[in-house]
Structure 1
Amino acid sequence: MKDVHFSGSYLPSDCIFLLKPVEIAPTDVAAKERAIQSGAKHYSEMLSVEKTPDKRYMDLFARALEQNKNRFSAHLASLVRTLALRPGREVVLVSLARAGTPVGVLLHRGLKSLGRASAHYSISIIRDRGVDAVALDYILERHQDTDLVFIDGWTGKGAISSELKATVAEYNESRGTAISSGLVVVSDLAGVAGMAATADDYLIPSAILNAIVSGLVSRTVLNDDYVGPGDFHACMFYEDKRGEDLSRYFVDLLSPIVESFLYGKECAPLCAWGDEQKVSLKLCSDAFIAEAMERYDVSDRNRVKPGIGESTRALLRRMPDRLIVREPGAIDVEHLIELATVGGVPIEIDPRLPYRAAVVIKTLGE
C-alpha cells in the first residue's frame, strides 16, 4: 500500500490517521437513536452534527484541564516508562480513534523524549464490527507484529477491549501474525486492560471535547456507501472547525508536563495488576450494569454508560434518559451537569454509585 499522509490537524510527526476522509450527510440525533435501537442501522453507519461548544462549556474544559493536567500527565509518564521497557526495535503505538488519539500522541512524544524509537498510528475499531483489518495490514507492511501496542483513553464496560481481543485473534489466525490484543489505557474502570495507570474514575481532560481535541476527525464510520474493499474505515475531517481546534494546543501544553514527570524521581514503570484486582474491578462493573438494567428497566447493556468518559460521550451524541452522579458538587462532573441541564436530561444523585457518574440511554420504541 502507498504511504498515507493524513494527520488530521496534528503534525505528521505526531500521528498518522489510517482513516478514509469522506463527506457524510448528518443524521438527526433522535433519528439516529431510533435507527440504532430498532436495528435498522448500526451506530457506525451514521454521524450526527458535532456542535461547537459555547463559552461556558469551554470554560469548564479549561478548568478541568487546569485541575487534572498534572494527574493526567503523571499517569502518562508512568505508561511511557513502562512502554519504553518493551523488547523490540521500536514501540508502534496504535491508538483507537478518537479517545485514544491524543493519548497516543502524548505517549509517542514521551517515548521519543527518552530516545526510544516510536511510531504512532490512529485507527478505527467499532463495537460488533471489529478493528480495521486493512489498517493493520498497512501497519504490518512497515513494522513487526510484536511491536504493536493498542492505546485508548479509558475503559467503561470493557466492550471495546472485548471487541479488540476477539478481532485481533481472528486477524492473527488469518494472517499468521502474533499481535497482542492487550489494551493500554490511562484509566481502567472495567478491569479489562492489559496495562493501565489507574482504576480511578476521574476526568481525563480530552474526554470533554470531540473532534476539536482529536485532530478534527469525526467518530469513525463503517458504511458500505463510503467504505469499499481495501478501504480504511471512514471519517469526516472538519476543516471548518480549524478556528476552534485545540488538538495541538492540548498536546503542546501537556508534553512538557509529561516530560517533567518522566525525569522525576517518583516516576517508575508500572507494576502489572494482579488478577485479583482485575477480577474485583470486573465484578464491580458487571454488578453495576446488572443493577442499573434492572433498576431502570433497560434491556440492552449497551444503554448503560458507566464512568465520566462514557457519560460525556453519551450526553454529547446520544439521547440520555438520565445522568446519575455520586457527588454533584465535584469538579470532575461539572461539565456533565452542564450538558444535562442544557439538554433537559434529569439528574439523579446516588451516593452509592461506584463511579463518579453514569448515564442511562433512553429506550425508544419498546
Structure 2
Amino acid sequence: MAVLPPTVRPLQPPKGSDIDFGAQIEGVDVENLTDEHFEIIRDALYRHKVVLFKNQHKLSPKAQYELTKRFDPVSDNYGHGKTIDAKRSILHPDLKTVPHQPQVQVIGNGFVQSYEGLENIQLRHPHHRTFHKDHIPDDKDYDFTRFYRWHIDAALYGLHPPQVTTLLAVAVPKGRRQTLLYDDGTGETLDVPLGTTAFVSGERMFDILSPEDQEFVLSSKMEYSPHPYIWMSSAHSRSTGLGLHSEGLELPNSDLPPIEETKIMVYPMAWKNPVTGKFALQIHPSAVRRIHCADGTTIDDLERVRDIVYKLQRPAISPQYVYPHDWEEGDLVLFNNRGLIHSVVGAFKPDEVRIFRQCNLAASEPPVGP
C-alpha cells in the first residue's frame, strides 16, 4: 500500500467565531520524524500558529523534546529557566519535571500515583481565585470560569522567549463545559470546554488596530521587569486575565534576587513571522514595566504602561477571536509562541485528574522586530 504524503488541513472554527488560525496535520510519525516532514510542520506552524496532531498517546518525552528543539537546534534551556528563589515565583507550584527528560514538564490537576518516573505527585491547575483581584463566587465555581492569565511562554529575564511550545494531553477529564466570564462590564461570555487552553492570534491583534496604534506598535519597544514572576507575585490580575491592576503590590527591586542589568529584556512590540513576514503584537501584559518610544522618551509610569498595553490587546481577546481548544487524550498541540498569546482556563474538582506534558526551550536569538 502506498504511503500517503502528510496533509495540513485548517481547523474548522466554532460556529459564530472569527478565528483565522489553526491546522491539523496527518500522516506524520512524530516519534520518528524525518527532516522532510519536520519542514512541513515548521511551515504549517508559522502559517497557522497552532498545529494539532491527534492520537499521540505513545509519544515519548524524548521525541517531544526533540521535536521542540528542532525549531531552534542551538537552544536547550527550559523556557522559563531555573528561577532563582523559585518558591516566590508564581510559576513554582504549577510545574513538575520529567526525571529522565528534564526539558519536559508535567502540568495538570489532581493526585497522580506514578507517571514517567514521578511518584505520588499532586498537580494543581491554576485557578483565577489565586491571582485575580476578585473572583467568581465559590458556589458558581464549577459552572463559570475566567481566563487565568494571558501570556507568552517566556522567562523575560536573561533568556529569550521560546520559538514554540509543545503540549501533549495525557489524561483529560470530560463531561462538562463552563461559561467563561469576562467580568469587565462588557457582558461578554464564551462557552468553553473544561480545562481548555485559549489562544488568540498576535497577527490579528495587530491587524485590527487603528493605523495610529499600528505605527506606535511598530516604532516602540517594551521593557520587562527583572525577575518578573517574583516581582508580580503579590499583584492581582484584571478579571479578563489580561494584565494586572496597579495597586502598588509589586515587589521593589530591593526585595528581588540580585539584578543584572544586562539580563533585563527590551523587545519590539511587534514580532516578525519568519515564514510569512507578517507582524504580530507580542506583549506579555503581566510582566510589562516600561515603554521605549520612537522619539527616545520612556513611559515609566506603571499604571499608564499597563493601560496602554490593555488598550492595544483587549480588542483581540473578544469572544469571536478566541480559539478554545477542546482537548482529547492523545492531542499534541504545537503553537507559535512568538505569534500568539494564550491562557489557562477552567476550574476542576479535586477528583478530576488532568495530566499534560509541556516542552519549550529558551530561544538562541531574540525576536525580530520591524
Give 1 or 2: higher strand fraction: 2
Q: Which has the higher helix share?
A: 1
TM-score, with length taken from structure 1? 0.29
TM-score by length of 2: 0.28
